[in-house]
Structure formats: structure tokens, C-alpha cells
């Protein structure tokens, strides 16, 4: 881990957010970012799933209908350096499998986002997201307020529709950064990305991790013109089954 990243996770805590959220601005180097982008963009076409607003990859595979993961190792390029650094920081130390076993890769072009949503009960309540290529603002909504306001009828998890409720928290995720959310931030809040080509109202009063950013001067104008961003979302799927057991189950149906 580069010297500038050699600190404990507590130093990265976003203090204005309920338990728990952490932000590390330089989690990977520029060379590592280029390598990861190259591996993602050179993946075979069948690896990509195309939705109306974005495309994505799922590693090592998508979950089954029963929200189980078929046991299979992640490719080495998704393990080192990222999961190696998770281990050094103890991020997944309390998770059932001790480290993430599933990675969702989303590509967001300018103007495209995703409606507020939750990750759900299939995963241990901890999410670690690495951003590549561009910065973006993540909007955080209290789950109860969002649903009581009738926003669930305004869109879906494919990024369609627009919520009426204003986010309670906004986190600026810079390229090469790591964002970790867990505990109440996982169970009691929804997160989404606005469909916009420009993130605005950027500053210490509107961005809750402002004091942790690497390049605050880059956002001094209060806005940021989006570029294509790729996110790597690491999670621990609770239910893991071996392929042989899965085939036996299907054969008996």
C-alpha cells in the first residue's frame, strides 16, 4: 500500500454520517486505475449485461434466484491490490467469509445514474466501492422518509424516474477513491446517483466528506462536469453453494 494510504480506517471516517461510512481518496494509484480499466474494457462481450441506462459486469457470477452465489474464486486482477488492502485495513474482518466474494462493476456515462435503492439481505451489511475514471456524487436517503414520500412509484433500479425527496447526505466519490458503508448506513438508508451531466452545489456545506477529499480545489466552482465513471462494488454474499450441490437441487425439482 502506498505511503499516503498507510493509516487506519478510523482516520477515514465521515463524521457527519450515522454509523458507519469511511472515505479514502487515494486508495489505488493512477497506474493501478489504468490497469483495472483495461481489464474491464477488454472483457469478452458476454461478460457485459446491458440495461437501459448503463452496462455492468458481475464477478464471479450473478446470484441465483435464491440469492446464493455459486462458489468460484474472483479473478486475480480484482483481488490484488484491492482486496489485499481491504485485508490490511481489516474492512471485511467481521464478515462471514473474512473478505468479499462478489464484485459488481457498473459503468456510468455522463447524464446517467441509478434510482435510490438498497443492496438487500443477500449480502453482509457492508459495501466497499472503488471509483475509476471519473468522480460522482452519491445521494443518501433515509429509507423510511423516501418510501413515505411515495418515491418508490417514481422509478426503478434501472435508473428510470426521478425522486421528489432531497437527499439527506451527499458523498463525493473521486476517481481512485474507496467508499465503505456499513451498519446503519447499510440497513436504514438508500443510495442513488442522479441522472445529470453535472454535479452541482459542491462545497463543505453540501458534501459530507468534503474534508477528506483529495482535490477540493477542483470543485471550488461548486460544480463538476461528469466523465464516464466505472464503479467496483465489493460485497460478501452470505449464502455460497458449490456447483455440484446446485445441480443436484435443480435435478430434484
User: Given pLDDT bands bounded at 50, 70 and 90, which one contains residue 240?
Assistant: very high
At CA 11, angle to CA 113 and CA 31, rounded to 5? 60
Task: State percent of the chain over pLDDT 70.
Answer: 87
Task: Give how far the C-alpha of residue 117 lies from the chain's centroid of Cα atoms, to the nearest Å.
Answer: 12
Query: pLDDT, tens digit, for every residue of 131-182?
Result: 999 999 999 999 987 776 655 544 444 444 556 688 999 999 999 999 999 9
Task: State percent of the chain over pLDDT 90.
Answer: 79
Locate the DSSP E strands across 49-204.
Answer: 49-50, 55-59, 69-70, 102-108, 114-117, 126-132, 136-142, 169-173, 178-182, 189-193, 198-200
**Residue 188 Cα distances to 18, 62, 250, angstroms:** 10, 25, 35
Rounded to two decimals, the pTM is: 0.89
Supply the pLDDT for residue 134: 96
**Residue 178 Cα distances to 21, 53, 165, 200, angstroms:** 10, 24, 26, 21
DSSP-derived pairing of the beta strands 126-132 and 178-182: antiparallel
Q: Classify 16 as helix, strand or coil.
A: coil
Supply the pLDDT for residue 164: 67
R_g of the chain computed on alpha carbons: 18
Among candidates 230, 251, 152, 233, which has minimal Cα distance to 186?
Answer: 233
Q: Are 116 and 141 in contact (CB under 8 A)?
A: yes
Give CA torsion, residues 219, 232, 34, 1, to 10 deg.
90
Domain residues of the chain, as ranges?
A: 11-147+165-251
Rounded CA gap, 186 and 143, in Å?
Answer: 10
Supply the pLDDT for residue 243: 83
11-147+165-251 CATH, one of 2.60.120.590, 1.20.1050.10, 3.30.1360.120, 3.30.750.24: 2.60.120.590
Supply the pLDDT for residue 100: 98
Whether pLDDT at 53 is above 90 = no
Rounded CA gap, 44 and 41, in Å?
Answer: 9
Any residues with CB less than 8 A from the CB of 2 and at least 6 apart, and which?
26, 29
Amino acid at each position: 500500500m502506498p505511503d499516503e494510504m498507510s493509516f487506519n480506517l478510523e482516520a477515514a471516517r465521515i463524521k457527519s454520517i450515522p454509523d458507519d461510512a469511511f472515505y479514502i481518496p487515494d486508495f489505488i494509484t493512477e497506474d493501478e486505475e489504468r490497469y483495472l480499466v483495461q481489464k474491464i474494457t477488454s472483457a469478452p462481450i458476454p461478460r457485459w449485461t446491458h440495461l437501459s441506462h448503463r452496462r455492468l459486469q458481475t464477478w464471479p457470477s450473478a446470484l441465483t434466484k435464491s440469492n446464493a452465489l455459486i462458489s468460484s474464486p474472483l479473478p486475480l486482477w480484482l483481488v490484488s491490490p484491492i482486496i489485499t488492502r481491504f485485508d490490511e485495513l481489516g474492512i471485511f474482518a467481521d464478515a462471514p467469509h473474512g473478505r468479499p466474494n462478489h464484485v459488481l462493476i457498473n459503468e456510468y456515462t455522463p447524464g446517467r445514474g441509478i434510482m435510490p435503492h438498497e443492496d438487500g439481505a443477500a449480502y453482509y451489511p457492508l459495501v466497499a466501492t472503488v471509483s475509476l475514471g471519473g468522480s460522482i456524487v452519491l445521494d443518501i436517503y433515509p429509507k423510511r422518509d423516501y418510501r413515505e414520500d411515495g418515491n418508490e412509484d417514481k422509478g426503478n433500479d434501472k435508473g428510470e424516474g426521478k425522486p421528489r425527496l432531497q437527499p439527506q447526505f451527499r458523498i463525493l466519490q473521486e476517481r481512485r477513491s474507496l467508499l465503505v458503508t456499513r451498519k446503519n448506513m447499510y440497513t436504514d438508508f438508500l443510495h442513488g446517483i442522479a441522472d445529470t451531466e453535472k454535479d452541482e452545489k459542491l462545497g463543505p456545506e453540501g458534501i459530507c466528506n468534503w474534508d477528506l477529499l483529495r482535490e477540493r480545489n477542483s470543485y471550488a466552482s461548486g460544480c463538476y462536469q461528469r466523465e464516464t465513471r466505472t464503479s467496483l462494488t465489493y460485497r460478501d454474499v452470505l449464502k455460497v453453494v458449490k456447483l455440484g450441490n446446485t445441480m443436484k437441487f435443480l435435478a430434484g425439482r
